[in-house]
Structure 1
Amino acid sequence: MPQTPSRPRWRRVAGSPWFHLVAAFVLAGLVLSFVAKPYWVPSGSMETTLEPGDRVLVNRLAYVGSSPGSGDVVVFDAGPEWDIAAAAASDPLRGALRWIGEVTGFGPSGAHTLIKRTIGTAGQTVACCTDEGRLTVDGAPLDEPYVTNDFAFEPGTLDCTSTPRSPRCFDAVTVPAESLLLLGDNRGNSSDSAAFCRSDDAAPTCWRWATRADVVGKAAVVFWPVPRWNVF
């Protein structure tokens, strides 16, 4: 009887379950690196737009050839000036859990990764506040329906001219080149770019910037839990 010709080696390798597993991991890595990335919201700084525990899908291609615009909700890798250097140290188990979280969105995300709303971009001047307590960008008051739990502000009683002044107020600042000014929607409970600048004696170095290179991508959709499904 004629012998059945053996399959080429490459076909035997390609048909192996181990090959399929490795290929799946490689494909997942490419998607996470270049297309989309799940993110687990760790805190209430973006309430009620985002709640602690929400899982967000981040579009990594959103800013190819462009930069974040005012109002965009972005995920970014925060530097040590954001007071999270201690979070970088973790045991192997915590590191493994973070890896699983980054891959699946179910569990903690990277120790250095935060999510905030873009308020000012490079070259823009941001200040707070107008006589009505509104934040301005290049002199134009912003309409911010997403803000919750804002700092107290009462025109004529507790404002930017009173003593003490309202904690909502900060001096005008021009965003440096290649940088972003980011604030939380839960304005009164957000450790954001202006966190150390809301006082009468704040130093010019109080600002914490995110750079364009720090941006992972734009928040695209809340995909979990299901009742909170929402597209940005």
Structure 2
Amino acid sequence: MDTEAQHTERDPSSRTESRTHPRTDSGTEEESRSVRVSEDPRPGPPHRTAPSWRRTVLTGGACVLFLLLLSHFVLQPFLIPSRSMEPTLRVGDRILVNKLAYRSGDGPRRGDVVVFDGTGSFVREEPRNNPVTGLLHDAAAALGLAEPDGTDFVKRVVGTGGDRVVCCDGDGRLTVNGVTVTERYLMPGDRPSGVPFDIVVPPDRLWVMGDHRSQSSDSRDHLGDPGGGMVPVDRVVGRAGWIVWPFGRWSAVPGTDAFAAVPAPPAGGHGTAPAGREERSGGETADERAAGGAGSRG
């Protein structure tokens, strides 16, 4: 009995003692752990940052590559250098050409304002001496860093494959497939043409004219050249979509319903049309070279 009492008396005291110093061991353990951590750090690899010039070069290169791809496949900037498309497009306007407009299979339509490569139709094809230099030049021109070769033009499509385009009728107006076209987009005071012509557009070709007829060198000026002033459809770069500069003229290139009543050409064709006369009106100017951007000519 005495032994049991002694055990009973010791147990509460030991419990009391543990309660009195409950954090001694844990505190010591935490302190020692903290000491070990501070004494034995595990430093990671030093953080290295690329030099600022390297990041700048990489970022600039990525931007240039993106712009080149965008310009080559989707949208390409063109500068309007002449008065040939007034009042629709003015000198100094910078437009974006939609290069996807005709990728779905539908070709240019009458009334579309298009940019095309006039090599072989409006200008003679001249081979480049150095293909590498030519490639670099094209890349710089696409970014607006060099002048273009001067083979790109911007005009309005007046006739497509199979159409018979005549100017002028008894009232001095243009007709397409026998239907008179009221061209409200013309420069005020201009006649539809000072050059009489009567042509049938071959398949996969376009007859194009400027809106400022007295200042435009277009299909009429190349009637006697190989191709007769007709532009191959596969030479069309795209459709003029938007005017993006200057900001005061920021808008879509306006369309037209002037050709809405023109019927499709007859299935059997129009027969042989008289050849257009190789005349030029006195007020018309020679083709003008584009300046800046990927450029377009008048």
- TM, length-normalised to structure 1: 0.74
Question: Closer, same or farther in 2 for the Cα pair 1:85/1:190, shift >3 Å?
Answer: farther
Distance 2:63 2:244 in 1: 22
1:123 partnered with 2:129: no
What's 2:210 paired with? 184
Instruction: Kindly report structure 1 stretches of 4+ aligned residues shifted beyond 6 Å.
Output: 95-98
1:42 partnered with 2:69: no
Distance 2:205 2:45 in 1: 63
Larger radius of gyration: 2
SS in 1 for 2:116: strand
> What's the CA shift for 1:130?
1.6
Q: Is the 8 A contact 1:129 1:135 kept in 2?
A: yes
> What's the CA shift for 1:42?
1.5
Distance 1:204 1:113 in 2: 18
Percent identity of equivalent pairs? 33
What's 1:215 paired with? 236
Question: Closer, same or farther in 2 for the Cα pair 1:176/1:5, shift >3 Å?
Answer: farther
Question: Closer, same or farther in 2 for the Cα pair 1:188/1:53, shift >3 Å?
Answer: same
Pick aligned residue for 1:169 from 196, 202, 210: 196
- TM, length-normalised to structure 2: 0.59
**1:125-166 Cα shifts (integer Å, max 9, x gaps):** 11112211111111111121111253488xxxxxxxxxxxxx
SS in 1 for 2:190: coil
Q: Is the 8 A contact 2:121 2:231 kept in 1?
A: no
Distance 1:101 1:52 in 2: 19
Q: Map 1:131-210; keep pairs closer than 5 Å.
A: 131-148=170-187, 149-151=189-191, 167-171=194-198, 173-197=199-223, 207-210=228-231
SS in 2 for 1:70: coil
Q: Which consecutive unaligned segments of at least 5 residues does structure 1 have?
A: 90-94, 154-166, 198-202
Pick aligned residue for 1:64 from 98, 103, 106: 103
What's 1:161 paired with? none
Distance 2:98 2:213 in 1: 24
Q: Is the 8 A contact 2:121 2:227 kept in 1?
A: no
> What's the CA shift for 1:74?
0.4
Q: Which amino acid aligns with 1:230?
A: S
Q: Is the 8 A contact 1:57 1:221 kept in 2?
A: yes
Question: Closer, same or farther in 2 for the Cα pair 1:131/1:204, shift >3 Å?
Answer: farther
The structure richer in strand per residue is 1
What's 1:200 paired with? none
